[in-house]
Amino acid sequence: MPRVLVVEDDPATTSILTYQLASRRVSHITHATTVAAALSMLDLPPGLGHPRHGSVEQLRVDGLGSHS
């Protein structure tokens, strides 16, 4: 069963996207208005826990945010 998470803050665009997806037989459509809200709705991959519980490996991209 296809599942789609629509991240859109404009109600009219959300309505159009939802209609189009439903017409393509997507039966599970979830909506978020911000990326932060969308990320909180995603399921974690198997074996990856919540960071507050100490079971998430820290991911780092070298050079990200550095301006040297």
CA distances from 56 to 13, 16, 46, 47 (A): 35, 37, 11, 9
Determine the average pLDDT of the residues in 1-16: 92
Under DSSP, is residue 3 helix (H, G, I), strand (E, B) or coil? strand
pTM over 0.75: no
Q: What is the pLDDT of residue 48?
A: 62
Q: What is the pLDDT of residue 53?
A: 54
Under DSSP, is residue 4 helix (H, G, I), strand (E, B) or coil? strand
- What is the tens place of the pLDDT at every residue in 15-65? 999 999 999 999 899 999 999 999 888 877 666 655 555 544 555 555 555
Q: What is the pLDDT of residue 17?
A: 95
Under DSSP, is residue 6 helix (H, G, I), strand (E, B) or coil? strand
